[in-house]
Structure formats: structure tokens, C-alpha cells
Homo-oligomer: A and B are copies of this chain.
Amino acid sequence: MTNRALRIGLVGYGFMGRAHSNAYKRVNDFFDLQYRPVLKAVCGRNRDNLEQFGAQWGYESIEADWTALVRRPDIDVIDIASPNHTHAEIASAAASAGKIVLCEKPLARDLTDAARMVEAVEYARVPNMVWYNYRRVPAVTLAKQLIDEGRLGRIFHYRTKFLQDWTMSRDLPQGGQALWRLDAEAAGSGVTGDLLAHCIDTAIWLNGPVHQVTATTETFIKERRHQKSGQVEPVRIDDASAFLARFDNGCLGTFEATRFARGHKALYTFEVNGESGSLAWDLHDLHRLQFFDHRDESKLRGWRSIHVTDGDHPYMSHWWVPGLQIGYEHTFIHQMADFLQSIASGTPITPSFRDALATEKVTSAVLKSARSGKWEVCN
């Protein structure tokens, strides 16, 4: 293949660092593209871990300081996969340096940071993208197609939740490398920014803007040992968050996320009910889309379980044969393929930083409503 190199500088080598690296390495094996990512450098603070990660994934170099990475002339893309509180500064610097900027979700720790990041990339006019990967699950993309084709008609209800159970043990500390998601300083919020953000991004994509919300949050375990101080400290993130929503299109929404739903590992689901049909999906069986078509003959109506693995399903012609599943990691590969095509064509990729800002406005209104006890507008 005579494709051109696109030189990647990755910040962060945790769970998301792996997912992004895998996407870079695999995308050209399955998609014919004009660009090919080259793993130029990975950046992080723990030198031993960093070296091991770089060697395992084949990065050409490592960088201990992200400011050095951002200045390197042999880097085209800065990909931010470090904890939330680092996003704004790195993204702004990278944009100023003229780099393409990719950022793991949520866009930022809070709305102020998020707005600053949008300003930075738009001022610098650099391509930018946020890794809301679930848009590229083939079944979710198919849902988007069906809605855009008008198959559901007017939408009445949007219902979504993201349920986990991995933080239920009292012995789990807050903070530290693996558990920064429990540390309000690093994460900004708990499940609101982590899990609900996914729910909101997909909802806005499928169903348009959220107008206003009424919300509640809860922290079930009030104190945990903090990794930094070694002391038991109050927990400042939300273990659970739920809200009712009004969309601009008149649709009612219910949203819920928690890490205290015993028996669910990563049960992200949504359901959309329209005048002429409904759709439902869940991440635990991500290769299936449930579709109810009211235009079917009356006595034969039922929810269809579509096994989204055929060549005429989104992205699937690039993989195996009908009936054979792909998995979680493929969503990142799809997003990378779309990104590389957007670079080649000069067409903006979605979700951009500005798209992700809309989600930040909703999560911000959710947290505000949880404090005020009132409906809050998302703008």
C-alpha cells in the first residue's frame, strides 16, 4: 500500500492507551486508506511502565514529558488518553503547536475546561475528535441510519442506562493510577462524566439536543482510603446519577448510570420509541440490534433481533463472514478508519470537540440539578 504516514504521539498508556494503540496498528489491515498511523511516541510518567508499554506495542520512542511531545516536529497527531484533569492543558498546547488533536472522552473535567479546549482547536483550526467510540458499534450506526431514514417517525421516548458493579467493595481505594476514576480531583465527577457521558453522546447523536434535565446523584460509600494521602477521606465523586430529560424534539428521556448495580459489568443500553417503530440495543450483546416495525403485518409484529454481522451492515464488509461477531475494540478501529478518511478528504470528523461540548453541557446541568433540586437548562 502506498499510503502516507500519520505520525502519532500518544499521551497515557492505561486501558485507553491500549485501545487506541490497537486501533492504530490494525486499521490498515482491514480498511483501504490513504493514511497509515505510525506509532512515533508514547508519553507517561512512570518510566518503567512506559518502556514496557512502548516495547509491547512497538512505539518508536517514549517521552516522559508531554510538553516535549507536543513540540516534536515528527508528530502529526497528539492523542490524549490520560486522566480527565490533564485533557485541557495538553489539548490546548497541542492545538497551539498545530497538531491534530484526538481526545479520549469525556472531553474535560468540567465545562470551563471543555469550552477552553473547543476554543483552542477552533482557533488553531486543527482537526479534532473525541473518542466516543460507541457511535461506531455497527448496530448503533445502523440505529442511526434507521432513525435518519425516518423509520421511527416522531420520537416519543428515549431510555438509556449504563450499569456497572465494579466499585461496590468498601476496600477499594480512591485515586492512584488504576483508580483515578474514583478521585474527584482527577475525574471531575463519577459516573456522570464517565458513564452518563456515553449515554448522552449517543442520545444527542440519535435524537438531537437535550433541552433540560432534573437529576439526582448519590455516593453510596461515603469514605474511602485515598491512594495519595494514605488516609480515609470523603469520596467526592458520584457512584450513581440519574436524570429525566426533555429533548428539543419533544421527546421524554430517562437516563441512569451507576457502579452499584450488582450483576452488570458494563450494561450500556438505549431504547428509542417512535410513532412507527422502536429500537433497542445493549453493550453486553453489542452485535445485535432490536427493531420493532409497526408497519409489519399486524399479527406478525414482533421485536426483531438483528445480528448485525452482514456485509450490508455498517463497517461489517471489512471483517469476516455473516454470523461472526466482532467486539469492543473494533469500535476504535472504525473510528480511526473514519478519521483517516476525514483527513484524506478534508471533511471534518464527528464527534468533534464542539460535538463533545454539547455532552459536557448536559453533564454539567445534571450535576447542577442534583445540587439545586430543580430543572436546569443545558446550554
Check A84 for interface membership: any CB of B closer than 8 A.
Answer: no
Q: State the oligomeric state as a number of copies.
A: 4
Q: A242-B254, A265-B307, A306-B301 known; A260 and B325 CB under 8 Å?
A: no
Q: Is the CB of A261 within 8 A of B278?
A: yes
Select the stretch in A86-94, A96-104, A120-128, A266-274 that faces chain B.
Answer: A266-274
Separation in Å of the A161 CB from the closest CB of chain B? 8
Other than the known A157-B258, A214-B373, A286-B325, what 20 A-B pairs have Cβ atoms closer than 8 Å?
A: A1-B55, A15-B321, A25-B29, A29-B56, A156-B261, A159-B161, A159-B256, A216-B252, A262-B273, A262-B274, A262-B276, A265-B322, A283-B323, A284-B307, A289-B302, A300-B304, A300-B306, A324-B327, A325-B325, A326-B327
A52 vs chain B, min Cβ distance (A): 9
Identify the stretch in A5-13, A71-79, A106-114, A308-316 within 8 Å (CB) of chain B at 4 or more residues. A308-316
Min Cβ gap A376→B in Å is 10
Q: How far is the CB of A349 from chain B (nearest CB, A)?
A: 23
Say whether A22 faces chain B, with CB atoms less than 8 Å apart.
Answer: yes
A60: which B residues are within 8 A, CB to CB?
A: none
> How far is A249 from B286 in the complex, measured between Cα atoms in Å?
35
Per the 8 Å Cβ criterion, residues 319-367 of A in contact with B are 319-330
Q: Which residues of B contact A250 (CB under 8 A)?
A: 220
**Residues of chain A from 164 to 221 with CB closer than 8 A to chain B in the complex:** 164-166, 168, 214-216, 218, 220
Known: A262-B275, A278-B262. A302 touches B299 (CB 8 A): no
Tell me the minimal C-beta distance from A319 to chain B in angstroms. 8
